[in-house]
Chain A
């Protein structure tokens, strides 16, 4: 479960960590317990017996179901929760991007808030005076810095907060699904900054629901289950077990899964185009050789050829992703250009095209649904997705039961 690593370069060392929430029947009970010292509560251990080490430069992904204790663990590590049991040893500067923008006073200017919030994270006045220009530049707030924060849009506050907390490179960076910050342009900057920290040897602890991001960012993964470490090790290995677990969990809950499947079976269609046409998005996806079928289009060819046109962000070369699932939502394959070193072709005018061909589509007969994605250059940001937007039927020449033809050999 846990692994012993050299203690030489440990940035974080967690031993037998536990966090108990005491649930009282009512606030009155809580007061009574406080005054009388008699405990009358139900105890809920959000985190129990968690032990692990992080070595400098590692990037760890924390995964787990809802309520598995991920947020509690992150808050404990960030120091905003007090452990009930166990110890946390942290070396150097720890920065947590948990919820951004807390602590800004609406009546004060952005600059004033910057200096104040800096104090809360240990950046004092003199140091802040040095950092201020770079923070303003990164947050792109310019003259707005002298306006009260109450006049800011939520995106502006978040930009300022992100620029502030990441102004100084930490030794340990704790991120809770905060990669989706602001608009596409700013998201990109955030990711670049985090990747830059990582390249400079900063240890990152990243919590996400997205196995895709964990796989991309993290060397190791920690799977929390019911407050305990279920598995800690190489990302692929842990993610593999976790995905099996989630799938079993979905199957065990037909009541929840069924309405989703029913919704998936209905023709969804592509989402409406974005309000800002310059934003990166999926422009069109065309499947070749489709004919009208009884209740859904049918693929009238041995090959599946998808032509995907996307708009990139500015001059950046985007990446294109494609996924095929059974109509009831069981994934079959997902592919992306950045995973395979394939690049979309520029059509000029900010448009890019990828043609994806599955020769001799190795599927058995059935109903399938496709999704298309556009990513940034690194493949870390999903700019836009057409999720399960098109259903089609495929009739395979084989009559044997099954899902896919696997490459095989008879001897």
Chain B
């Protein structure tokens, strides 16, 4: 992990610049709009609000047996918002190097800064929304202590999003098709995550498929915390940790192999 560790150190050393890049990324996402930064928060907020309004208020749908006894909308929001955060960070992080090609070829800067600023910008937008969601769900289980588990979980999600986005950004630099392929994976990925249905509704023979998706463990953890007020099961933490180590190790190899050519590929 030495190479990736060095990347983290260079990010830390240049944190002032990374901060500027991140702010710039955020203002770049809403540049030219009248409502400005509000758009960035309003869009995901309205998407999840729509789930709640349609399923819980208009149709008042409840989940069947074997599921948490909550409204469908309430259940959907818990998985959908972290999933949106993950996809946003992943896609933007993956494209960040290709987008910054011109800049990187003309300014001596480590490419990793551009991945990290994209992921951080997404985190600045979705982080507060996820915290807000935590507060909104707290009364369901009388402000359970387990809510504190949200913090490490969010941090781990940011970390894994970054590691995965950086991996994909390098692959996309080598082969542009990566972007298309991952775009497809992300659009079907929601069906391979227990976002829309509780994990118990998946046929047991096929449940292993869910674990091919790094977000499954996170979504399960959010559901356990927010819907049941319970600490995520150890298995979930193990899955999160394994994915992080696995992607980190893969990234380490890719960074080593691509280091002195990466900018040439952009």
Find out whether the CB atom of B106 lies under 8 angstroms from the CB atom of A103. Answer: yes
Find out whether the CB atom of B107 lies under 8 angstroms from the CB atom of A30. Answer: no
B212 on the A face (CB < 8 A): no
Within 8 A of A (CB), among B151-199: 170-171, 174-178
B138 on the A face (CB < 8 A): no
Within 8 A of A (CB), among B129-154: none
**In the complex, what residue of chain A is closest to B253 when comparing beta carbons?**
A37
Find out whether the CB atom of B265 lies under 8 angstroms from the CB atom of A30. Answer: yes
Which of the candidate stretches B16-24, B38-46, B216-224 sits at the interface with the other chain? Answer: B16-24
A residues in contact with B28, CB < 8 Å: 105, 107-108
CA distance A59 to B173 in the complex (A): 37
Find out whether the CB atom of A124 lies under 8 angstroms from the CB atom of B16. Answer: yes
A residues in contact with B105, CB < 8 Å: 75, 80, 102
A35 to chain B, nearest CB (A): 8
A394 to chain B, nearest CB (A): 51
**In the complex, what residue of chain A is closest to B102 when comparing beta carbons?**
A102
Find out whether the CB atom of B261 lies under 8 angstroms from the CB atom of A22. Answer: yes
Find out whether the CB atom of B31 lies under 8 angstroms from the CB atom of A105. Answer: yes
CA distance A82 to B104 in the complex (A): 11
A27 on the B face (CB < 8 A): yes
Find out whether the CB atom of B257 lies under 8 angstroms from the CB atom of A34. Answer: yes
B residues in contact with A120, CB < 8 Å: 17, 103, 107, 109
**In the complex, what residue of chain A is closest to B250 when comparing beta carbons?**
A35
User: Of B17, B31, B170, B264, which contacts A34 at CB under 8 A?
Assistant: B170
| Contact flags B9-21 to A (C-beta < 8 A → 1, else 0) | 0000000110011
| Contact flags A80-100 to B (C-beta < 8 A → 1, else 0) | 111110000000000000110
The verdict on A116 contacting B258 (CB below 8 Å), with A27-B175, A37-B253, A81-B263 known, is no
Find out whether the CB atom of A79 lies under 8 angstroms from the CB atom of B108. Answer: yes
Interface SS of chain B: helix, strand, loop or mixed?
helix
User: Of B106, B177, B265, which contacts A98 at CB under 8 A?
Assistant: B106
Find out whether the CB atom of A31 lies under 8 angstroms from the CB atom of B174. Answer: yes
A residues in contact with B27, CB < 8 Å: 108
| Contact flags A288-309 to B (C-beta < 8 A → 1, else 0) | 0000000000000000000000
CA distance A336 to B260 in the complex (A): 47
A78 on the B face (CB < 8 A): yes
B250 to chain A, nearest CB (A): 9
B32 on the A face (CB < 8 A): yes
CA distance A121 to B265 in the complex (A): 23
B106 to chain A, nearest CB (A): 4
Find out whether the CB atom of A27 lies under 8 angstroms from the CB atom of B174. Answer: yes
| Contact flags A15-55 to B (C-beta < 8 A → 1, else 0) | 00000011000011011011001000000000000000000
CA distance A99 to B16 in the complex (A): 25
| Contact flags B45-58 to A (C-beta < 8 A → 1, else 0) | 00000000000000
Within 8 A of A (CB), among B99-127: 102-109
A residues in contact with B259, CB < 8 Å: 82
Which residue among B31, B103, B106 has the maximum number of chain A CB atoms within 10 Å of its CB?
Answer: B106
A339 to chain B, nearest CB (A): 36
B254 on the A face (CB < 8 A): yes
| Contact flags A352-363 to B (C-beta < 8 A → 1, else 0) | 000000000000
Find out whether the CB atom of B257 lies under 8 angstroms from the CB atom of A80. Answer: no
Which residue among B17, B21, B107, B253 has the maximum number of chain A CB atoms within 10 Å of its CB?
Answer: B107
Find out whether the CB atom of A34 lies under 8 angstroms from the CB atom of B174. Answer: yes
User: Of A27, A34, A83, A99, which contacts B106 at CB under 8 A?
Assistant: A99
Interface size class of A (residues with CB under 8 A): 20 to 34
A residues in contact with B264, CB < 8 Å: 21, 81
CA distance A288 to B109 in the complex (A): 60
Interface size class of B (residues with CB under 8 A): 20 to 34
Find out whether the CB atom of B175 lies under 8 angstroms from the CB atom of A28. Answer: yes
A22 to chain B, nearest CB (A): 6
A residues in contact with B17, CB < 8 Å: 119-120
B103 to chain A, nearest CB (A): 5
B26 to chain A, nearest CB (A): 12
Find out whether the CB atom of B31 lies under 8 angstroms from the CB atom of A107. Answer: yes
The verdict on A78 contacting B20 (CB below 8 Å), with A30-B175, A84-B260, A105-B28 known, is no
Within 8 A of B (CB), among A104-136: 105, 107-108, 116, 119-121, 124
CA distance A105 to B264 in the complex (A): 22
Find out whether the CB atom of A27 lies under 8 angstroms from the CB atom of B176. Answer: yes
Find out whether the CB atom of B257 lies under 8 angstroms from the CB atom of A82. Answer: no
CA distance A83 to B108 in the complex (A): 12
The verdict on A119 contacting B20 (CB below 8 Å), with A27-B174, A27-B175, A107-B28 known, is yes
A residues in contact with B260, CB < 8 Å: 82-84
A73 to chain B, nearest CB (A): 15
**In the complex, what residue of chain A is closest to B108 when comparing beta carbons?**
A79
A residues in contact with B16, CB < 8 Å: 119, 124
User: Of A30, A37, A116, A124, which contacts B24 at CB under 8 A?
Assistant: A116
**In the complex, what residue of chain A is closest to B258 when comparing beta carbons?**
A34
**In the complex, what residue of chain B is closest to A121 when comparing beta carbons?**
B107
A residues in contact with B104, CB < 8 Å: 80
CA distance A75 to B261 in the complex (A): 13
CA distance A75 to B104 in the complex (A): 11
Which residue among A31, A79, A102 has the maximum number of chain B CB atoms within 10 Å of its CB?
Answer: A31
B residues in contact with A83, CB < 8 Å: 260
CA distance A82 to B261 in the complex (A): 7
CA distance A98 to B265 in the complex (A): 19
10 A–B contacts, CB within 8 A, in A order: A34-B254, A79-B108, A80-B104, A80-B263, A99-B106, A105-B28, A105-B31, A108-B28, A120-B17, A120-B107
Measured CB to CB, the residues of B under 8 A from A are 16-17, 20-21, 24, 27-28, 31-32, 102-109, 170-171, 174-178, 253-254, 257-261, 263-265
Task: Beyond the given A37-B257, A103-B102, A119-B20, please list 17 additional residue pairs across the A-B interface where CB-CB is below 8 A.
Answer: A22-B261, A34-B171, A34-B254, A34-B257, A80-B107, A81-B263, A82-B260, A83-B260, A98-B106, A99-B106, A102-B103, A103-B103, A105-B31, A107-B28, A108-B28, A108-B31, A120-B17
> Top 6 A-B pairs ranked by shortest CB distance?
A79-B108, A107-B31, A102-B106, A31-B175, A82-B260, A31-B174
